[in-house]
């Protein structure tokens, strides 16, 4: 059966449960959650977190993305063609000297969360950087290929097109084998991301653990701090979804240690790392582990200090702030945070499960007409 369609990931739970002929009591027992929590998620009184979602998905023999639902797939023929011809090089680009600049521009669109423009530019650029790498065989050229596949993974993960995300990371790993050592670490981080998106948090942690050992033995200097930093950010997210306090704490401590090497956040290989991005990950994980007051205080401090991070990080920051506000009963604060997420990263908010789920729950809870919420729900495609 194909994945359900967004919006309202939590609303898919009841539909999937009924398709399988399961009662709420039976599903709750299988998933290890309370019947009360499951009932509240289904009717929209509680938001479905990805940690609980993964437990429910596993209990129904689904992947997390199948339970959360995916955005409708657009015309991906050009991108499919470019990926398929990874090992069939064509004509080299006429102006190879512009490739790095074009990749930088693509990443800028990514950081601005302009998903539609990324999809438009991605196939052609992917073809040209791959053809150039086949021609030269240089590690730096293959690093560029791996970086563009990292963008392909990011785009697919945002829409939860998981077959495409997994295919992109597979090609990314192959390119990384021919590239500079840092490319393999970035590829491992994205590979672990496919486990995160599918709900296999333990599998993703195993990928991260192996990559940390590799980074410690192959990287030096700035690349070592950066590589270990982005791995530990992924690790703390995965461990937080598992609610493993000890492992989460270990990754948080290691991420902050790596961030000390960077007075300000940097962006390399399409990924930001530094003290600000570390803080956003810590906030998200605090929400995952029901440490909501800590998440709110940390988020408020980060926002008040001013941020240099792009929309790709600021949008989710406000979504995670909204998660904790909603958990503590602050519906007005949640609505304000959602409005800010939409303002900063509208294309991401339109497909992100957290944004859609928070909107669904606010609509369910609100008993009076609210013009701001109605406007937000309309943008999300949720009936009021």
How do residues 207-250 score in pLDDT, each as one tens digit?
999 999 999 999 999 999 999 999 999 999 999 999 999 999 99
Query: Residue ranges per domain, the chain?
Result: 1-70, 274-384
pTM attached to this predicted model: 0.92
Q: How confident is the model at residue 381 (pLDDT cuts 50, 70, 90)?
A: confident
CB atoms under 10 Å from CB of 116, counted, come to 10
| CATH class of the region 274-384 | mainly alpha
CA distance 121 to 124: 6
pLDDT range class, residue 380, cuts 50, 70, 90: confident
Q: Please, what is the average pLDDT of the chain?
A: 93
- What count of residues does the chain have? 384
Q: Can you tell me which residue has the tokens 């990314």? A: 172
Mean pLDDT (whole number) for 67-88: 85
* pLDDT at position 5 over 80: no
**CATH superfamily for domain 1-70:** lambda repressor-like DNA-binding domains (1.10.260.40)
Give the H/E segment covering residue 267.
strand 266-268
pLDDT at 8: 59
Structure tokens, 86:
């990874």
pLDDT in tens, 31-65: 999 999 999 898 888 888 888 988 999 999 988 87
- CA-closest candidate to residue 125, choices 95, 167, 157, 170: 95
138 secondary structure, DSSP code: -
Q: What residues are paired with 267 via a beta bridge?
A: 272
Which residues make Cβ contacts (< 8 Å) with residue 208, sequence separation at least 6?
Answer: 188, 189, 192, 231, 232, 234, 235, 238
pLDDT of residue 67: 84
User: Stretch 124-147: mean pLDDT, rounded?
Assistant: 97
Beta carbons within 10 angstroms of residue 21's beta carbon: 7
Which is nearest to 111 in space by CA: 348, 374, 355, 376?
A: 348
pLDDT of residue 4: 45
Percentage of the chain modeled with pLDDT above 70: 97
Measured between alpha carbons, how far is residue 349 from residues 158, 243, 304, 306 in Å?
10, 26, 22, 21
Is the pLDDT at 9 greater than 90, yes or no? no
Q: Is the pLDDT of residue 171 over 60?
A: yes
Q: Which tokens hold the place of 38?
A: 């499951």
């Amino acid at each position: 059966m194909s994945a359900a369609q967004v919006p309202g990931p939590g609303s898919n739970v009841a539909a999937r449960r009924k398709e399988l002929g399961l009662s709420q009591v039976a599903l709750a027992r299988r998933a290890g959650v309370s019947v009360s929590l499951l009932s509240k998620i289904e009717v929209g009184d509680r938001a479905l977190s990805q940690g609980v979602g993964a437990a429910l998905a596993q209990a129904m023999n689904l992947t997390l993305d199948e339970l959360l639902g995916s955005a409708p797939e657009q015309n991906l023929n050009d991108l499919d063609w470019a990926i398929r011809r990874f090992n069939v090089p064509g004509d080299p680009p006429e102006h190879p000297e512009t490739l790095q600049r074009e990749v930088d521009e693509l990443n800028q669109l990514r950081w601005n969360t302009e998903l539609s423009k990324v999809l438009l530019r991605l196939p052609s650029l992917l073809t040209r950087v791959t053809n150039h790498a086949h021609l030269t065989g240089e590690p730096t050229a293959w690093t560029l290929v791996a970086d563009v596949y990292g963008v392909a993974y990011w785009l697919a993960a945002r829409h939860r097109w998981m077959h495409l995300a997994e295919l992109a990371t597979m090609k990314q790993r192959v390119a990384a084998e021919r590239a500079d050592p840092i490319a393999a670490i970035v590829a491992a981080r994205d590979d672990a991301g496919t486990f995160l998106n599918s709900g296999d948090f333990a599998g993703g942690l195993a990928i991260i653990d192996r990559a940390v050992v590799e980074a410690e033995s192959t990287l030096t200097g700035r690349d070592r701090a950066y590589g270990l930093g982005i791995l530990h950010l992924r690790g703390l997210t995965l461990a937080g979804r598992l609610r493993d306090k000890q492992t989460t704490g270990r990754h948080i401590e290691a991420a902050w240690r790596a961030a000390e090497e960077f007075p300000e956040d940097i962006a390399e290989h399409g990924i930001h790392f530094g003290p600000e991005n570390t803080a956003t990950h810590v906030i998200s994980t605090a929400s995952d582990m029901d440490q909501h007051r800590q998440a709110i205080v940390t988020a408020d401090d980060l926002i008040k200090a001013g941020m240099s991070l792009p929309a790709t990080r600021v949008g989710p920051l406000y979504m995670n702030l909204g998660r904790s506000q909603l958990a503590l009963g602050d519906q007005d604060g949640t609505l304000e945070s959602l409005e800010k997420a939409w303002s900063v990263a509208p294309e991401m908010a339109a497909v992100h499960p957290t944004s859609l789920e928070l909107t669904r729950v606010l609509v369910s809870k609100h008993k009076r007409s609210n013009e701001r919420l109605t406007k937000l729900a309309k943008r999300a495609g949720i009936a009021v």
